[in-house]
Chain A
Amino acid sequence: AEVEETLKRIQAHRGVVATMVVNAEGIPIRTTLDNSTTVQYAGLLHQLTMKARSTVRDIDPQNDLTFLRIRSKKHEIMVAPDKEYLLIVIQNPCE
């Protein structure tokens, strides 16, 4: 219930295109997009997050990745990583 609320709130923000929750194996738990796109995002972003995290920890083992933002021409992809799950939000920055 709380989860629902949180995700609904995020989705309601201005400019947010899609929200999804993916688990550590790449299985989409919750998504607002169609399946094939979700699967694509899940696979790619999972790998990227792993790489980013390992990069941060390589440089300083005490450090850890808290947030990942990818800004592209069309929109911004935000990834909040955790040990087991990934929360991915795609937003159109205001312009």
Chain B
Amino acid sequence: MEIMYVYTRKRSEFGRPCSFSDRPAEVNVDIPPDPSMASSFILRNPVDSYVQHTSDMSEHEVNTERVEVESRGVNHVEGGWPKDINPQEVEQTIRFRKKVEKDENYVNTITHLGTLMEHCVKQNNAINIYKEYFEEEEMVEVEDEPPSAKTINVIRDPNVTKRTATHLSWHPDTCKKLAVAYSSLEFQQNMKNMSFDSYIWDLENPNKPELVLRPSSPLVSLEYNPKDSHVLVGGCYNGQMAYWDTRKGGLPVEVSAVEVSHRDPVYGAIWLQSKTGTECFSASTDGQVLWWDIRKLAEPTEMLVLDITRKGLLENALGAVTLEFEPTMPTKFMVGTEQGIVIACNRKAKTPPEKITSTYSGHHGPVYALARNPFYPKIFLTVGDWTARIWSEEIKESSIMWTKYHLSYLTDGCWSTVRPAVFFTTRSDGTLDVWDFLFKQNDPSLSLKVCDEPLSSLRLQDNGCVVGCGSKLGTVTLLEISSGLCTLQRNEKMLATAMFERETKREKILEARHREMRLKERARSEGQGSEVEERPVESPQEVLDRARKEFFEVIEVELQRQARAETQHLGGKVKDRAGEEEAAVVAAAQGEESQLPKDKEEEEEEEKDAAKEP
């Protein structure tokens, strides 16, 4: 609502001077108080009122820049010589020294210090004050602390575009160095400025890699040579194999030829046990396993196609996702495939079809990790889809033990090198699980959330205490697990052996029973097959006779029913009429019956015609 006041004036009066005049006060509005409303007046007591007097604060985040530390050496130069003496001149220095030695103060001091020093030297020689005495008694205490792990180091990918840390390999001797392969495993997601480099990190310096490896294509797998710690072999994203010598720098010493290499990323590359220490083999999702000698990477020395129908056809081949080799059994190796099947192969078989000795299927998805138990070579662990399974080589039908189904994918796993029943798994929700199968089989003994992004790879150091896990954004976290999980308990080997044997036996019994049941089924189904064949012979003639019989039976039943109904209905009144009608009904029935034979004859004629026709 607009408040407007209309002011009109005659045109002739425009511009006239205003003449103000006094006017007495006028009451415009007078609202007297209404006493009737006084009763509805509520006194509010107390009244809440708030007052705030604080200084204004605002929140800021401050993050200091990471201090870049570098190790440098200092060069010491001789100094302190008095001005007139030149330190380079031997004569002058000797003269100076002789002068000092003649000083009385010098003699006294040195004598005094000498006795003091001798005392300490003799002390050192007498007994080692820092030696660990009474060590054996400490072992008696049993530590009951809950298992735990703490992060000792975090190594991040220094590039801007983060890549997944796909493979970790510890330096064989010192375990102070870690080689990490970085690549992007997303299908066709390679960004233009993504670097191809992989790094070797020294744990003393997590800010800067010790060595940068520059392949022509990102590395998917990377392994140190266990015999020669300067040599590494890497499998590339484009299927080539390359090897490096750390003494020679970051470029590969030799790269395999593209034509004979794999056609898919090389997911597994492992060194073989050989006299020369230069043999390795690799597997990839194109279905081939190739053997190489790194001195001559121009062509592979041997090839195997992972075709479980044993025909050696590449079309039927299963893609390999992981490879396993145990140096104690040099002729056998195992391959985990994309299809969820684990293939055990024998390298020394005579013909290619015989190379594939057995298959184990049980996973619903790709088998991401495959590892033999270092204490029991017949037992191996597979990690894939949502579970981890333990298998025995003898039982081919199913795994002997398995974990429950998790909510997220399991991406990698490995056994502990010190305890036979402990293994580690990583999940795609960033959790690292430590399982102790002797203690608890339903849940992991320790479950740690390492980071928010999925963990892609896992590797345990040889001492069993430090484990490194690589994540999707290229962060490698090193964790040290509590001593309870990495020291061998007293009866552990015995208990573990007993457990594995028990499970293996159980599976054997189940397998035997299954086989029996299957044999019985087969026998039964064969018997049933012969019965089913006899019935079709009778159909044409006997079906017809049966139909005819049934037809007449139905008619008879109907007639009898009608007769009974009529007699009941008319029973009381007139017996003659009933009798007549009965007779009529019976005559009608007979008429029908007489008709029926006619129908029957007609039918028979029809049948004969039908029979004559074919």
Contacts and interface: CB of A to CB of B under 8 A. Distances in A.
B111 interface: yes
Interface of B: 76-81, 96-97, 100-101, 105-107, 109-118, 120-122, 124-125, 128, 130-131
A76 B114 contact: no
Given A10-B118, A30-B97, A36-B76, A85 B109 contact: yes
B133 to A, nearest CB: 13
Contact of B120 (A26, A27, A69, A85): A69
Contacts of B114: 3, 6-7, 9-10, 87
B111 A89 contact: no
Contacts of A94: 124-125, 128
A13 B118 contact: yes
Interface in A29-88: 29-30, 35-36, 39-40, 43-44, 66-67, 69, 71, 76, 78, 80, 82, 84-85, 87
A18 interface: no
Contact of B117 (A23, A25, A43, A80): A80
Contacts of B110: 3, 6-7, 21, 85, 87
A31 B130 CA distance: 28
26 contacts: A2-B111, A3-B106, A3-B107, A3-B114, A10-B118, A14-B125, A15-B124, A15-B125, A25-B80, A27-B80, A29-B100, A36-B76, A44-B76, A76-B124, A82-B112, A82-B113, A84-B105, A84-B109, A85-B113, A87-B117, A89-B117, A89-B121, A94-B124, A94-B125, A94-B128, A95-B128
A82 B81 CA distance: 19
Which one of B101, B106, B107 has the greatest number of beta carbons of chain A within 10 Å?
Answer: B106
A21 B113 CA distance: 10
Contacts of A76: 124
A55 to B, nearest CB: 20
Contacts of A93: 124-125, 128, 130
Nearest to B120: A78
A62 B341 CA distance: 79
A40 B131 CA distance: 30
A65 B109 CA distance: 15
B116 A66 contact: yes
B125 A13 contact: yes
A87 B112 CA distance: 10
Contacts of B115: 6
B72 to A, nearest CB: 15
B100 A23 contact: yes
The binding surface of chain B is classed by DSSP as helix
Contact of B116 (A21, A67, A91, A95): A67
Contacts of B76: 36, 39-40, 43-44
Nearest to B85: A27
7 closest A-B pairs by CB: A6-B114, A25-B80, A80-B113, A26-B80, A87-B113, A40-B76, A3-B110
A67 B123 CA distance: 14
Interface residues of A, number: 39
Given A9-B118, A39-B76, A67-B116, 19 more contacts: A3-B107, A3-B110, A3-B111, A6-B111, A6-B115, A7-B110, A13-B118, A15-B125, A25-B80, A27-B80, A27-B81, A29-B101, A78-B121, A80-B117, A82-B113, A84-B105, A93-B124, A93-B125, A94-B125
A14 B125 CA distance: 7
A71 B121 contact: no
Which one of A15, A29, A69, A71 has the greatest number of beta carbons of chain B within 10 Å?
Answer: A29
Contacts of B97: 29-30
A93 B120 CA distance: 11
Contacts of A13: 118, 121-122, 125
Given A3-B107, A85-B110, A87-B113, A10 B121 contact: yes
B121 A39 contact: no
B106 A78 contact: no
B128 A39 contact: no
Contacts of B109: 82, 84-85
Contact of B107 (A2, A82, A95): A2
Contacts of B107: 2-3
Nearest to A21: B110
A13 B110 CA distance: 17
A56 to B, nearest CB: 16
B130 A71 contact: yes
B106 A39 contact: no
Contacts of A71: 130
B106 to A, nearest CB: 7
B558 to A, nearest CB: 114
Contacts of B113: 80, 82, 85, 87
Contacts of B121: 10, 13, 15-16, 78, 89, 91
Given A3-B111, A7-B110, A93-B124, A78 B80 contact: no
A9 B111 CA distance: 12
A26 B79 contact: yes
Contacts of A29: 97, 100-101, 106
Contacts of B130: 71, 93
Nearest to A43: B76
A40 B79 CA distance: 11
A13 B118 CA distance: 9
A89 B112 CA distance: 15
A9 B110 CA distance: 13
A39 B81 CA distance: 12
Contacts of B78: 35, 39
Which one of A6, A66, A78, A94 has the greatest number of beta carbons of chain B within 10 Å?
Answer: A6
A21 B125 CA distance: 22
A94 B111 CA distance: 25
Contacts of A91: 121, 124
Contacts of A27: 80-81, 96
Nearest to A88: B117
Contacts of A9: 114, 118
Contacts of A26: 79-80
A80 B80 contact: no
